[in-house]
A and B are shown apart, each in its own frame.
Chain A
């Protein structure tokens, strides 16, 4: 059917932006809970926040910002330079995503090793505010990690299609939308990092 082949890049981008709004609101619910419970348990939140691994958090922030830069460069590159550069840049983005998740894995194993996880006996014995803090932390960061995984997969698919030539300088809505998604993942982390690691 012919109408499926008509392209509307502006429409595709509008659709993506609308979808990204929904993602913001998804995380928004968790940030809302954070705000309310912070007001209620500021002492426990502050104590728990000081226990967080600032090193892991900082490293992951740097990694994600770098990856976002690479993704943005890939969008410029597909319009100006060759396919190979785009592939390198996308490869770099996906690699950063993988390193991010690996760091997360190390950080979580350490915390879980110390008996800190939702419903753990250690948290059950502590003050209620502490258990609320860690439950929120695991949920928010876990949901974010899931988004890193989805975004990475999406960009890998995009890279494969760039390689095959179905995404090219004349039609790169997919690449642009993939990069937009990745920026969202980055943006959400830029809220998570200060809230859980820095300000408390």
Chain B
């Protein structure tokens, strides 16, 4: 984990300056930077686990019939892939890692408002993850319900659903704790002169996200409790045989889980809003609209859960209303895209790895968003519902969107904390491999879905075979790019070229302090005198 030697006097950076030593200096640290790195390594570890599972699913689907596993294993695999990716990687990912690493510095604070709660939420996250992992190897075996745990099936299957659900519940608590911590921090700990109008856009996006975490996660909590009650006590609240209504389960689940996609995507958009102006060397276009659209997405996005249930038997009025609201959310999302593109216009663009990943983000997220509209319109959704189209769509959004923003953030910010950087050329090759592989992998799924291949199916008709093979080959190209990215990043951070305070020439506060940052970030309380994208005020190295 640690850089092999230090760029600055050893005692001054957060790598050294701590009372404890060894592993204890990490897992008991209340320093937001150490907690941020803990989160980073844990969520990224789970991402890699999820990727391996995804590749296995793809290998099974490479050819019709049985390829490498049986149907029960397949069901467990896509369930665990979904649970790991959603609850252990992408939901906690940004807030936990880059939120913790960057946000306090960007607002000029020494730490978050509740440092011990911050550490506790990492512990909760790890405890929840451990419970989920335990559920795979004990009881009736890994859950096979899909990550949505739909009742009544999840109430009846003999697999280890209760324990997995309990693990997700614990992870939810961790998410709530982070949300509470971040809202309080952003309200209370901004440095002098850091007005709301000077808040970096990444912080704005984390702020909106934290509200979603606070207001939506408890609904997931109660929904999970109800699954466990259903299994252990036989409450029958969603069992039509005993007067319950499975549709009510879907409502409760999506009241959380649709807003949860904004927990995944909003911070990613924040990352992009930081990177684009820096690499276009221009103040971001429409600062206020980008900040406002984060809040608008969070607010409007809380009202659209019903679009997951168009085909489940809702009233026509409900379908109409949810369809309309879904289209409303597209407006603030599009505002952001237009603002990024306008920022690029006539900028002096430098195409380094963080920028390339950000451009891919815009491209892939736009495809994800447009395919989302196809599902938001009830009429077309009936055609594509529960097909591979849906799988293609959400991978474009959460992997092409949030995932690529995560890679952008890794290249952009990690050098700040290690004092060394990756090599540029391999980073660009990795980016190219991943972007190409990604589109081969998931665009095939979109087409397969339009042709009628259902999702979560172990086997398929022979006419779907060619595109499935193409898709699987795409997954290998993507994976090879990912391996290259990792090797390059690890080598760079251990022994790459040293970086100074402000290698990118950015104007936000984190680039004004030493690299790697000292334990308390700022030698003296900073006083903010210019906006986050005001490059005249920034010292360019």
Chain A: residues with CB nearer than 8 A to chain B? 1-4, 8, 10-11, 14-15, 18-19, 21-30, 32-33, 36-37, 40-41, 118-119, 124, 127-129, 131-132, 135-136, 138-139, 143
The answer, yes or no, to whether B492 is at the interface (CB within 8 Å) is: no
Are B237 and A1 neighbours in the complex by a CB distance under 8 Å?
Answer: no
Task: Note all chain B residues with C-beta closer than 8 A to A3.
Answer: 110-111, 115, 520
**How far does the alpha carbon of A75 sit from the alpha carbon of B242 in the complex, in Å?**
47
In the bound assembly, the distance between CA atoms of A75 and B215 in angstroms comes to: 28
**Cα distance, A40 to B229, chains bound together (Å):** 22
Residues of B within 8 A of A129 (CB): 243
CB distance from B90 to the nearest CB of A (A): 21
Q: Which residue of A lies closest to B176 (CB)?
A: A22
- Closest approach, in angstroms, between the C-beta of A3 and any C-beta of chain B? 5
22 A-B contacts (beta carbon < 8 Å): A3-B115, A11-B113, A11-B184, A15-B114, A15-B117, A19-B176, A22-B180, A22-B218, A25-B216, A26-B219, A26-B222, A27-B222, A32-B252, A36-B245, A118-B229, A119-B235, A124-B242, A127-B243, A128-B244, A131-B236, A132-B236, A139-B225
B248 at interface (Cβ–Cβ under 8 A)? yes
Q: How far is A37 from B215 in the complex, measured between Cα atoms in Å?
A: 23
- B 216-239 binary contact with A (CB < 8 Å = 1; else 0): 111101110110010001111100
Q: How many Å from the CB of B540 to the closest CB on chain A?
A: 30
Interface: B144 (CB within 8 A): no
A22, A40, A127: which contacts B214 (Cβ < 8 A)?
A22
A132 to B519, CA, bound (A): 55
By secondary structure, the A interface counts as helix
Q: Would A26 and B180 count as touching, CB distance under 8 A? A: no
Contacts of B183 in A (CB 8 A): 14, 18
A1-B30, A1-B31, A131-B242 as given contacts; A139 in contact with B187, CB under 8 Å: no
Helix, strand, loop or mixed for chain B's interface? helix
Let me know if A25 and B215 touch, CB within 8 A: yes
User: Contact at A135–B181, with CB atoms within 8 Å?
Assistant: no
- What class of interface size applies to chain B in its complex with A? 35 or more
On whether the beta carbons of B222 and A15 are closer than 8 Å, the reply is no
Among residues of A, the one whose C-beta sits closest to the C-beta of B180 is: A18
A40, B245: Cα distance in complex, Å = 10
How far apart sit A132 and B243, CA to CA, in the bound complex (Å)?
6
Contact of A22 among B187, B189, B217 (CB under 8 A): B217
Q: A118-B235, A139-B229, A139-B235 are in contact. Are A29 and B30 (CB under 8 A)?
A: no
**In the bound complex, what is the Cα–Cα distance between A135 and B114 (angstroms)?**
38
Question: Closest CB-CB distance, B302 to chain A, in whole Å?
Answer: 11
Q: Closest Cβ of chain B: how far from A111's Cβ, in Å?
A: 14
In the complex, what's the smallest C-beta–C-beta distance from A126 to chain B, in angstroms? Answer: 10
Instruction: Tell me the complex Cα distance, A23–B223, Å.
Output: 14
Asked whether A23 lies within 8 Å of B218 as measured between CB atoms, the reply is yes
Q: A18-B179, A36-B245, A139-B235 are in contact. List 4 more A-B contacts (CB 8 A).
A: A1-B19, A8-B188, A29-B218, A124-B242
Q: Are B219 and A28 in contact (CB under 8 A)?
A: yes
Inter-chain contacts of B219 with A (CB < 8 A): 25-26, 28-29
A25 with B218: CB separation less than 8 A? yes
- CB of B245 to closest CB in A, whole Å: 8
Would you call B236 and A135 a contact (CB within 8 A)? yes
Is the pair A28, B188 in contact by a Cβ cutoff of 8 Å?
Answer: no
CA distance A180 to B209 in the complex (A): 25
| Chain A proximity of B309: nearest CB distance (Å) | 14
The residues in B between 326 and 344 inclusive whose CB is less than 8 angstroms from any CB of A are none
Residue in B closest to A19 when the chains form the complex, CB atoms:
B180
Given A8-B188, A15-B184: A29 touches B242 (CB 8 Å cut-off): no
Q: Which 3 A-B pairs have the closest CB atoms?
A: A128-B243, A119-B234, A29-B222
Bitwise, B17-31 to A at CB < 8 A (1) or not (0) is 001000000000011
Please tell me if the beta carbons of A118 and B236 are within 8 angstroms of each other in the complex.
yes
Provide the residues of chain A in CB contact with B236, threshold 8 Å. Answer: 118-119, 131-132, 135
Give the distance to chain A from B223, nearest Cβ to Cβ, in Å.
7
Q: Identify the closest chain A residue to B223 (Cβ).
A: A29
| Cβ–Cβ contact B243 & A41, under 8 A | yes
Least Cβ distance of B258 to chain A in Å? 15
Cα–Cα, bound, A143→B222 (Å): 10
Task: State how many angstroms separate the Cβ of B255 from the closest Cβ of chain A.
Answer: 8
Report how far A153 CA is from B272 CA in the complex, Å: 45
Partner of B218, one of A28, A127, A139: A28
Q: Which residues of A contact B242 (CB under 8 A)?
A: 124, 128, 131-132
User: How far is it, in angstroms, between the C-alpha of A13 and the C-alpha of B222 when the chains are bound?
Assistant: 25
Q: Which residues of A contact B189 (CB under 8 A)?
A: 11
Closest beta carbon of chain A to B206's beta carbon, Å: 15
Nearest CB in chain B to that of A128: its residue: B243
Chain B residue at minimum C-beta to C-beta distance from A18: B180
Residue contact B234 to A21, C-beta cutoff 8 Å: no
**Contacts of B90-139 to chain A: CB distance below 8 A:** 110-111, 113-117
Residues in chain A near residue B234, CB distance under 8 A: 118-119
- Given contacts A14-B188, A139-B229, whether A33 and B248 have CB atoms under 8 Å apart is yes
Closest to A24 in B: B218
Chain B 352-388 interface mask (CB, 8 Å, partner A; 1/0): 0000000000000000000000000000000000000
Q: Given the complex, which residues of B lie within 8 Å of A33, measured CB to CB?
A: 237, 248, 252
Which chain A residues lie closer than 8 Å to B235 at the CB level?
118-119, 135, 138-139
Chain B residues whose CB sits within 8 angstroms of the CB of A23 once the complex forms:
218
Complex interface bits, B431-442 against A, C-beta within 8 A gives 1, otherwise 0: 000000000000
What is the bound-complex CA distance between A30 and B219, given in angstroms?
9
Give chain B interface residues in 54-85, CB to chain A under 8 Å: none
A29 B244 Cβ-Cβ under 8 A: no
Listed residue (B217, B222, B223) with the most chain A CB atoms within 10 angstroms of its CB: B222
Residues of B within 8 Å of A139, CB to CB, are: 225-226, 229, 235, 237
